[in-house]
Structure 1
Amino acid sequence: MKNLWFVEIDLPDSLICTPPGLGELTSLQRLSIFIVGEDSEHQISQLKELNLGGELSIRGLENVRNLEDVKAANMITKRNLASLNLSWASGANKISMEHFEATLENIQPHHNLEQICISSYQGSRFPNWMSAPAFINLSEITLERCEKCEHLPPLGKLPALKILKLFRLDSVRRLGTEWCGDGKSSFVALTQLRLLEMLDLEEWIIPKSHESFLRLQYLEIKRCPKLIRLPFLPVLKDFHVHTNPAILGSMIATSIESLRLMDDADELSLLPGGLVSAQKNLKKLEIKECPNLRSLSIMLDGLYGLKKLSFLFCRKLEYPPEGLKFLNSLEEILFYRCDSLRLFPAAILENMPSLRSLRFEHCEKVDPLSGPLQGVVSSLHELVIINCPELECLPECIQQLSALRKFIIWGCLKLTSLPDGIGNLKSLSVLGIRYCSPILKKRCERSKGEDWPKISHIPQMYLEVSF
């Protein structure tokens, strides 16, 4: 098979090693994965004569016998390689830290590389070649489960680096001068940064008289419990913070358009007043997995540009925030898995002229659009009620939703009939009723069901009972 030029191995997790003799396929141009084994036929030196391109994943680096095999692989000559994934087996404790460091140092790829991922590396430092400015095409770096690494290379020197993910670098305490580099500017192209489960990270600072992160638009911080302060990030648009409520008090960036808050560590019971309202450009606010969040002490009246508001897995949230009435630009509201949510007063809609979509999904106790509604609501286009098992009847005020176009009701087993007012919704073009009671299905049967006259004008209908 000397003429073979492409080998792709899918789902390789169960493989102990790749086929022997790959090094003899000198016409090979693409190889998706190479697993280093203990014997000579599976050593990394098999890659010596292969002029590989595209993506390559090298696993089993804990089986490297000596540095001569690594050097013989000639990774630095493979100029067509665009993506490289290097990984060691987790728990490779018998290998010395020096062996880890020497292996990675001598596996240096060609400077044409565009993406690199390093997994389960247990050296205390990364090699200098990782931050060499010669890597003018390197745009994405992932470092994961490198628990013993204490220092990061000056990645800020890389001129094309756009995406950086750091996951489980447990020993890194500080992000400062060393990862920025000694120039006047750093991370000049970086647009996305993810700091995930860095348990000892305490500081992230930008050196004085230093221009950094001037293009950073997406930032995710997840389970970094000791990090309580952020630097000024002038163009940050999308901020996702998970289980790190203390960091919220240091938010300076006023350019944020999308903010996602998560707290599955049960520390967040109240959102500090004024915290969110300081973000005048905020368009999307998502509050997720805050199981102890009961109420929202937020000055929502400051969010004049907010367009989408979501509450997901806030299981103790009982009532929607009163400040909703101040959100004149709000277009979408979603409640998902809010088990304690009891009602959503219809009167709220009277002060929301821009609201287009209202969704209740898997909220077991909710009574949507309860109470009276004064006047006609001419903005709401979509109403979705999914898996609200306690819902027995729909509100009569639904007839006042004059612009409603799409109405979805799924998984409401106690709902047995439709209100008379639904027949007045002349704009309604889509009605979906699924996984509700057989009684409701029978009442909606074409031509002969009791509720059929109320819905016969609707062009698209989906009526299903079975789960």
Structure 2
Amino acid sequence: MSPSWMARLTKLRELTLYKCMNCEHLPPLGKLLSLESLSIWYMGGVKNVGNEFLGIGSGGTLSSSSAIVAFPKLKYLSINYMEEWEQWEEWNYKIIEEDVLIMPSLRFLQLNSCCKLKALPEYILQMTTLEELRIKYCYVLNLEKLWLSSYKEDIPLANMRMLTLDSCINVEYLPPLGKLSYLESIIIKRMGRVKRVDNEFMGIESSGRHRSITVFPKLKILVFENMDEWEEWDIAIGDEESTIMPSLQWVTIQCCNKLKGLPDHLLRAPRLEQLTINRCSILKERYRGEMGEDWTKISHIPNVQIHR
């Protein structure tokens, strides 16, 4: 049952729920047909976000089309400090027989400090409208599922342009982000168990076939910070016709003290304009000034900054 106040909010476009600590279930906000921005903060009593959040059930959300639509205009969704939230349920298609659309306009999703959240529902992973995803301090979230959709022929989040992964401390291997051909910006921070970045991150599958490929075709910004255990970054591609990051312009590596070197494919990116290395002791010695053993590999880059 919808709270009585929702019936009067037919034109509401922006909503923030803040420190509703006694709330154990989110209201059926999917029924707010004009809602474009939703921010949820400090809902410490919520452990499960189920189908009721979508506002779909008997006599579900109405729309002008034959399909039922939850959150028809929502573009911005930010969920923060839901420290007891464990489960975000899949949509149960057995509830009603009509076609259902969920958040068909969503562009931005942030999950911040949802420490117990285990996975994202399939209806989020299958979004073709999502352009920016930020995941921060979600310690047990299954990132592997982000890239392994149950729809095998599809690539989850295929049209995403900006991605931030911060403090996903249980992750040992970075996901195959190279498969997201529209990505323009990647920021990865505090992934404390990652020791190696290789072809898997590039989205390159090992097989006997040799073919020309383009990896990260639109990537412009690449940032790694505070990767305490990261030691190796290796791109192993034998085909000379393969293209790696042809649009890359800006690379920042910060506080990665165990990292031994940067891959040649990265340093040869044709549009690379700025390389920043900060607080990376091994990289500093390897690439610094004219004295570093690999200075010649970066000397062509217009703006190189190596600090401390």
TM-score (structure 2 length as normaliser): 0.70
Query: 1: distance between equivalents of 2:301 and 2:180?
Result: 32
Aligned to 2:253: 385
Q: How far 1:332 moved relative to its partner?
A: 1.3
Query: 1: distance between equivalents of 2:88 and 2:179?
Result: 27
- For the pair shown, the structure with the greater C-alpha radius of gyration is 1
Checking the alignment, whether the CA contact within 8 Å between 2:277 and 2:305 is kept in structure 1 is no
**Change beyond 3 A, Cα 1:192–1:403:** same
Query: 2: distance between equivalents of 1:235 and 1:264?
Result: 25
Query: 2: distance between equivalents of 1:316 and 1:270?
Result: 13
Query: 1: distance between equivalents of 2:157 and 2:224?
Result: 22
- Secondary structure of the equivalent of 2:124? coil
Query: 1: distance between equivalents of 2:196 and 2:296?
Result: 29
**Change beyond 3 A, Cα 1:245–1:259:** farther
Checking the alignment, whether the CA contact within 8 Å between 2:48 and 2:89 is kept in structure 1 is no
Aligned to 1:304: 158
In terms of mean alpha carbon deviation, does 222-231 or 406-415 score higher? 222-231
Query: 2: distance between equivalents of 1:441 and 1:249?
Result: 54
Query: 2: distance between equivalents of 1:461 and 1:226?
Result: 47
Residue-by-residue CA offset, 1:152-211 (whole Å, 9 max, x unaligned)? xxxxxxxxxxxxxxxxxxxxxx8612x235xxx5252432323434333435237xxxx9
**Change beyond 3 A, Cα 1:264–1:464:** same
The answer as to 2:106 corresponding to 1:238 is no
Question: Superposed, which structure 2 residues align to 1:56-71 within 5 Å?
Answer: none
Residue-by-residue CA offset, 1:373-423 (whole Å, 9 max, x unaligned)? 3433212222211100101222233343222122111110122213xxxxx
Checking the alignment, whether the CA contact within 8 Å between 1:264 and 1:290 is kept in structure 2 is yes
Aligned to 1:327: 180
Aligned to 1:116: none
Query: 1: distance between equivalents of 2:124 and 2:231?
Result: 28
Question: Superposed, which structure 2 residues align to 1:216-255 within 5 Å?
Answer: 216-222=35-41, 223=43, 224-225=45-46, 228=49, 229-230=52-53, 231=55, 232-242=70-80, 243=82, 244-247=85-88, 249=90, 252-255=102-105
- Secondary structure of the equivalent of 1:333? strand
- Secondary structure of the equivalent of 1:398? helix
**Change beyond 3 A, Cα 1:380–1:367:** farther
Q: How far 1:315 moved relative to its partner?
A: 1.1
- Secondary structure of the equivalent of 1:414? helix
Select the structure that is richer in helix. 1
Aligned to 1:336: 189
**Number of residue pairs matched by the alignment:** 255
The answer as to 2:134 corresponding to 1:286 is yes
Structure 2, unaligned stretches of length 5 or more?
56-69, 92-100, 204-213
**Change beyond 3 A, Cα 1:201–1:187:** farther
Query: 2: distance between equivalents of 1:271 and 1:252?
Result: 14
Which structure ranks higher in relative contact order (CA pairs < 8 Å, sequence separation ≥ 6)?
2
Checking the alignment, whether the CA contact within 8 Å between 1:376 and 1:402 is kept in structure 2 is no
Q: How far 1:334 moved relative to its partner?
A: 1.4
**Change beyond 3 A, Cα 1:459–1:307:** closer
Checking the alignment, whether the CA contact within 8 Å between 1:188 and 1:212 is kept in structure 2 is no
Q: What is the aligned-residue identity percentage?
A: 24
Query: 1: distance between equivalents of 2:47 and 2:139?
Result: 22
Specify which of 125, 132, 136 is matched with residue 277 of structure 1. Answer: 125
Checking the alignment, whether the CA contact within 8 Å between 1:380 and 1:403 is kept in structure 2 is yes
Question: Superposed, which structure 2 residues align to 1:101-250 within 5 Å?
Answer: 176-177=3-4, 179-180=5-6, 186-202=9-25, 204-205=27-28, 213-222=32-41, 223=43, 224-225=45-46, 228=49, 229-230=52-53, 231=55, 232-242=70-80, 243=82, 244-247=85-88, 249=90
1:286 partner letter:
R
Query: 2: distance between equivalents of 1:235 and 1:245?
Result: 26
Checking the alignment, whether the CA contact within 8 Å between 2:254 and 2:278 is kept in structure 1 is yes
**Change beyond 3 A, Cα 1:316–1:187:** same
1:308 partner letter:
M
Query: 2: distance between equivalents of 1:260 and 1:358?
Result: 19
**Change beyond 3 A, Cα 1:239–1:394:** same
Aligned to 2:167: 313
The answer as to 2:255 corresponding to 1:417 is no
| TM-align CA RMSD | 3.1
Q: How far 1:455 moved relative to its partner?
A: 5.1
2:90 partner letter:
G
Q: How far 1:346 moved relative to its partner?
A: 4.9
- Secondary structure of the equivalent of 1:249? coil
Checking the alignment, whether the CA contact within 8 Å between 1:241 and 1:260 is kept in structure 2 is yes
